[in-house]
């Protein structure tokens, strides 16, 4: 029996936060989950506040990862320096607050989590995530290595998965909010899924109110995104990992309502 790691797709607005707060601990107990990584990138619909990060930790997350909206809420910057369990992408400049990689002590051994940001169609001034990831893999000593690659392009995410196959225990994609159906164990033992999906309102367009999203495509003037209302869901991927070897034994996409 391996260690069970749950990766949770982007939290989107209050529906996602409330669903996580009400259900994650129950899911952890029911599924006997040992470690949880949550992408909190869109907890505030765009970005995340310290209060929302605290709520995600209180809900049962062990680590929070971020992405291209990391700097949207300026009040988050000191929080990134103070808290070790929230990560921003490692390929942001070294002068940026916070860290992009962390090692966390658990009952089953140390777990290393790496957060990266893709460059394809994302207008961010970042270092090459492939070069950064390759460099870290040469230095990391821990057996269990988890990578959240926050990226737009499916090709970019799959390329990262194959590059890290046999080096990382699990690689998953976030950012596009639509769960992909390719959860698998790659040939050299790395668990992989192109996109976890999202945690937020079921009847939505990527977590956003459908009418607002339609209006945007129809040419309405820009306005702040509003999270859709109504029943929510949690999407992600459950990885079973051998703590002795760091290899993934099983990968399963999950959608819990």
Distance CA 62, CA 257 (A): 21
Tell me, what CATH number does 71's domain have? Answer: 3.60.21.10
Can you give the pLDDT at residue 125?
83
User: Active site includes 105?
Assistant: no
Place of tokens 């040992």: 34
Domain span at 191: 3-256
Q: What pTM did the predictor assign?
A: 0.97
The pLDDT, as a whole number, for residue 56 is 98
Q: Active-site residue among 69, 150, 175, 177?
A: 69
Q: For 79-122, where are the E strands, in sequence order?
A: 86-87, 101-104, 111-117
Would you write out the chain's pLDDT as a tens digit for each of its 257 residues?
A: 899 999 999 999 999 999 999 999 999 999 999 999 999 999 999 999 999 999 999 999 999 999 999 999 999 999 999 999 999 999 999 999 999 999 999 999 999 999 999 999 887 789 999 999 999 999 999 999 999 999 999 999 999 999 999 999 999 999 999 999 999 999 999 999 999 999 999 999 999 999 999 999 999 999 999 999 999 999 999 999 999 999 999 999 999 99
What is the Cα 223 distance to its own chain's centre?
26
* Residue 8: predicted pLDDT: 99
Q: Which residues of 28-62 are buried (b: 16+ CB within 10 A; e: fewer)?
A: beeeebbbbbbbbbbbbbebbbbebbebbbebbbb
Contacts of 197 (CB under 8 A, 6+ apart): 9, 10, 177, 178, 179, 180, 235, 236, 253, 255
Pull the structure tokens for residue 237: 């991927």
DSSP structural state of residue 207 = T
Provide the pLDDT for residue 43.
98
Q: How many domains does the chain have?
A: 1
Cα atoms found within 13 Å of the Cα of residue 96, Cβ hemisphere only: 18
């Amino acid at each position: 029996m391996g260690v069970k790691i749950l990766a949770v797709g982007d939290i989107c607005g209050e529906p996602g936060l409330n669903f996580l707060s009400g259900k994650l601990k129950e899911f952890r107990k029911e599924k006997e989950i040992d470690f949880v990584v949550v992408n909190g990138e869109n907890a505030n619909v765009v970005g995340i506040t310290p209060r929302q990060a605290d709520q995600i930790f209180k809900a049962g997350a062990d680590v929070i990862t971020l992405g291209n909206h990391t700097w949207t809420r300026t009040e988050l910057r000191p929080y990134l320096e103070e808290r070790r369990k929230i990560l921003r992408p490692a390929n942001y400049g070294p002068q940026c607050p916070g860290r992009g990689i962390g090692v966390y002590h658990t009952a089953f051994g140390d777990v290393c989590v790496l957060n990266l940001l893709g460059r394809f169609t994302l207008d961010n001034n970042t270092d090459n995530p492939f070069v950064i990831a390759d460099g870290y893999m040469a230095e990391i000593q821990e057996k269990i290595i988890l990578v959240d690659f926050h990226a737009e392009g499916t090709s970019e995410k799959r390329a990262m998965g194959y590059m890290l196959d046999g080096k990382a225990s699990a690689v998953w994609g976030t950012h596009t909010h639509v769960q992909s159906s390719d959860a698998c164990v790659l040939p050299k033992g790395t668990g992989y899924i192109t996109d976890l999906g999202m945690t937020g309102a079921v009847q939505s367009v990527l977590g956003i109110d459908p009418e607002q999203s339609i209006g945007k495509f129809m040419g309405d003037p820009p306005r702040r995104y509003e999270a859709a209302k109504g029943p929510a869901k949690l999407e992600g991927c459950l990885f079973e990992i051998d703590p002795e070897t760091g290899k993934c034994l099983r990968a399963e996409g999950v959608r819990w309502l």
